[in-house]
Structure formats: C-alpha cells, structure tokens
Amino acid sequence: MEELSRALDDVLRREKSRVVGGLVRLLGSIDAAEDAFQEAVLAAIPNWQARGTPDNPAAWLTTAAKNHARDAARHRRIVDAKAPLLVESDMVSPETIESVSDDELRLIFTCCHPALTLESQVALTLKVVAGFTTDEIARAFLSPEKTIAQRIVRAKKTIEDKQLPYEVPDRAELPERLASVLAVVYLVFNEGHTTREGPLMRLDLQAEALRLARVLCELLPSEPEVFGLYALVAFSFARAATRTDERGEMLLLSEQDRARWDRPTIREGLMALERARRLGGRATYVLQAEIAACHATAPAWESTDWRRILRCYDDLLVLAPSPIVALNRAVAVCMHDGPAAALAAIAELAEPLASYHLFYAMRADFRRRLGEDARDDYGRALDLANNDTERNFLRRQIDSLGRERM
C-alpha cells in the first residue's frame, strides 16, 4: 500500500500536468478536467492495488478520467459539442508524444495568461501544472488557504469569462507570452529563494521552479531564454544548502562553503547555459545565468571573474535598466575596482531605492570597507527588512561593527 501511494505520488507530480492538459482540451474547462482527474486518481487506487501499477500510468489515468467524464455527461444527459469526442475515445488512448506535449504547453500558457494577475498566474500554475494542493501553496506563500483558494477560483472564472483560448500562441505572439510564462517560473523560484517573511528559503518551491524550467526546455527546445532560466535556477538550487549555517543564519556568497555546492546540478546549469549560448541567446535570463555561472564555477569569492560579471551587468542594464540590477552590479564594481568606485556607482540609486533594505546594507558594506562608520545605514536596512533571517544577519553586522570600533 505504501509502495502504491508512493508510485501514485510520483505519477501525480510528474504526469498531472500532461494528463490534465489533455483533459482540458477534451472537456473544455480546467475545473472539469481537474474533477475528472481526481475521479481517475480515486479509481486508480483499488485498481492498481489489485493489478499493480500500469506501464503507462498517465495513459491509464487519462482513459479513466475520460470514461468518468463520459459517464457523467451521459448521466446528466447533456449533449454538447464536446460529447462526440468523448464517446469516440475508448480504453486505449494512443496519444502521440507531440499531442501530449502540446497539451501540457497549452495548459502552461493558459495558466500564465497575461489577462490574469501575476499572483493568479503563479497560484494557478502551482495548482494545475505543478500539482500542489491549495494548502501547500498557501504555506509556501504564507497566505491564508482561503485567499489562495479564492484566487484560484477567480482565475479560472476569468479564463472562462474572457474565453481565453486554450492554445500555444503563434510565432508572432510567442515572445510576449513566453515572457509571461518565464516570469511565473522565475517568481516561483524567487519566492523559494528569499521568501518575503519567515525563513530564508523554501526548497520545495525552488525544486518545483527547476522542474518547471526543465519541462519548458523539453517543450520549447529552441528558445534560449528558457534554457537561460533553467541554468539560472539550477545554479541557485545547487547552492541552496549552503546559504544558511547550521543555526539557520544567512551566509553571504563570500562566506558559503563552496565544497558543499551540488556539483552535478551546477553542471546541469552549465550545459543548459551552453545550449542557450548556442541558440544565440543573450537576453535577461541568459545574462543572469552567465553571472550565476561565474559564481558557481569560481573557486573562491576573491578569485571570481569580476570582469566577466561586470560585462554581463552592463549588457543587462542596456536590455532592462533597473536600479536593483545597478545595485547588484555595484558588488562587482567593489570587487573589481574597489569600494570607492562602488559607492560612486550607487550614488544615484539613493532616490529610487530609498525604501529598499539591501541598498542600505550594501552602502553600509562599501562604507565599512573604506573604514567609515556605517551603523546608520545598517540600522536603516534593519528597519526596512522583512525576512527574519535577513534581519538577524543585519543585526550581526551591526554587532561586529560595534566590536571593531571598541
């Protein structure tokens, strides 16, 4: 029984989006597809227990879900346009790989449709594509379960009301729609990387972002930005275990134990990045992945290839000018050209980043390196930071400053 539930869990995680993707196409709505899928899972338990897990669990679940939907339709004597399709399908479902992949891709594009709010896109993607429960999503985002449930219901309603097409966008639309999908995966990853409150990171979200990125690479094998995102997430995931010490306190990149980085995952990232380069990509995700690769492959903080990192930041600032990117670039400036140059580089960011805690934390660090008393900046950073782990880190910096001066 335990073995069965593990097999079932595996299938649900891995195959749910494919199966549900196909069912949405047949049944015309995400709700109907999820209901039918749920029924199929219930039917699977006694059947698989008696006869063992089938060779192709996804096909089995699809067929069972279709049968359930057909029976339900008959029962309600509803004759709608979808009915003939349902009746035609029998127990054998010879889906080609292409049609299955297309279904999954359609589902992802629909869940990440720009007509939905970004928050809804993320919640819906985690629920429908990633197979998270509402409760799991609520815990991951530290929101009440009710809020998440409502968000998902509203999103599904928007899809129906606006009759958002269930399709993979065509060539002309693809770049913009893909940007929206990547933004959702990036947000899932980012939320896993530094949650807004509470502990520093949530590995399940990061693992899911990595999985989603991999799936997208399979489905869209010629898009460099998809591989860039995959690489970026892989590099970060590889370092996740070393971002906090044994007491859960945050460690800076310069303090992390590089020997404990997950080398195979870094290599995965390097392969993905190489693929992105060969596809001719040097847009925002690829550039961020290039920077992360410099860190992931550097033997030590001091011997990081800062010149290369600076070049990437320069390109990134041209493509997507942002004060946050400019702030991160200043770290590389500090390492390459010294803290005085870094302070000069962030001087004009004081206004746009006036309420961003990391601006003060970084300015404090640069000033400290120049031998200045930076307690006021650390104090401002502390006032603005939400994440407990980050706050503890800032407190430790202030404490050590006090000691330095004594």
Partner 1 sequence: MPDFMVMISADESRDAQLRAAEMKALVEGDSAYEEKLREVSAFLDAERLRPSAEGRRVSVRDGEVRVEIGPFGEVALAGYYLVQADSLDAAVKLADECPMAPGSALDVRPVMTGKLRPGKSDAQGRIFAFAVLGSAANEQGWIDVMDRIDASSRDNFPNDRMLGGVRLHAPSQGRRVVASGNQRAIFDGPFLESKEVIGGLFFMRMTSIEEAVRWASETAFVKIGAVEIRELWRS
Residues that bind partner 1 (CB under 8 A): 213-215, 217-218, 221, 227, 230, 259, 263-268, 270-272, 274-275, 278-279, 296-300, 302-303, 305
For 202-215, the DSSP string reads -HHHHHHHHHHHHH
Cβ 297 to partner 1, closest distance in Å?
A: 4
Cβ contacts of 40 within 8 Å, gap of 6 or more: 19, 61, 62, 64, 65, 68
Of 218 and 348, nearer to partner 1 (C-beta) is 218
Cβ contacts of 281 within 8 Å, gap of 6 or more: 223, 224, 225, 227, 228
Q: What are phi and psi of 244, to 5 degrees?
A: -130, 155
Q: What are phi and psi of 172, to 5 degrees?
A: -65, -35
What sign results for the dihedral spanned by CA atoms 252, 257, 262, 267? positive
Of 118, 105, 114, the C-alpha closest to 187 is 118
Cβ 218 to partner 1, closest distance in Å?
A: 5
Ramachandran area for residue 195 (φ above 0: left; ψ -120 to 50: alpha; else beta): beta
Cβ 122 to partner 1, closest distance in Å?
A: 22
Cβ 214 to partner 1, closest distance in Å?
A: 4
Q: Position 283: which residue type?
A: A
Cβ 273 to partner 1, closest distance in Å?
A: 10
Of 37 and 230, nearer to partner 1 (C-beta) is 230
CA atoms within 13 A on the CB side of 38: 8
Cβ 215 to partner 1, closest distance in Å?
A: 8
Cβ 304 to partner 1, closest distance in Å?
A: 10
Cβ 267 to partner 1, closest distance in Å?
A: 5
Of 26 and 220, nearer to partner 1 (C-beta) is 220
Q: For residues 308 and 350, what is the distance between their CA atoms, to the nearest angstrom? A: 26
Of 200 and 296, nearer to partner 1 (C-beta) is 296
Of 34 and 104, nearer to partner 1 (C-beta) is 104
Q: Find out whether 218 and 100 touch, Cβ atoms under 8 Å.
A: no
Alpha helices by DSSP H, listed for 244-322, are: 263-278, 284-297, 306-319
Q: Find out whether 240 and 264 touch, Cβ atoms under 8 Å.
A: no
Q: Position 230: which residue type?
A: Y
Of 14 and 139, nearer to partner 1 (C-beta) is 14
Three-class secondary structure assignment of 129-184: HCCCCHHHHHHHCCCCHHHHHHHHHHHHHHHHHCCCCCCCCCCCCHHHHHHHHHHH
Of 215 and 312, nearer to partner 1 (C-beta) is 215
Cβ 143 to partner 1, closest distance in Å?
A: 31
Q: Position 178: which residue type?
A: L
Of 6 and 278, nearer to partner 1 (C-beta) is 278
Of 263 and 395, nearer to partner 1 (C-beta) is 263
Cβ 46 to partner 1, closest distance in Å?
A: 32
Of 310, 313, 317, 314, the C-alpha closest to 336 is 310
Give the C-alpha distances (Å, rounded to integers) separating 227 from 172, 215, 261, 269. 20, 11, 21, 9
Of 262 and 390, nearer to partner 1 (C-beta) is 262
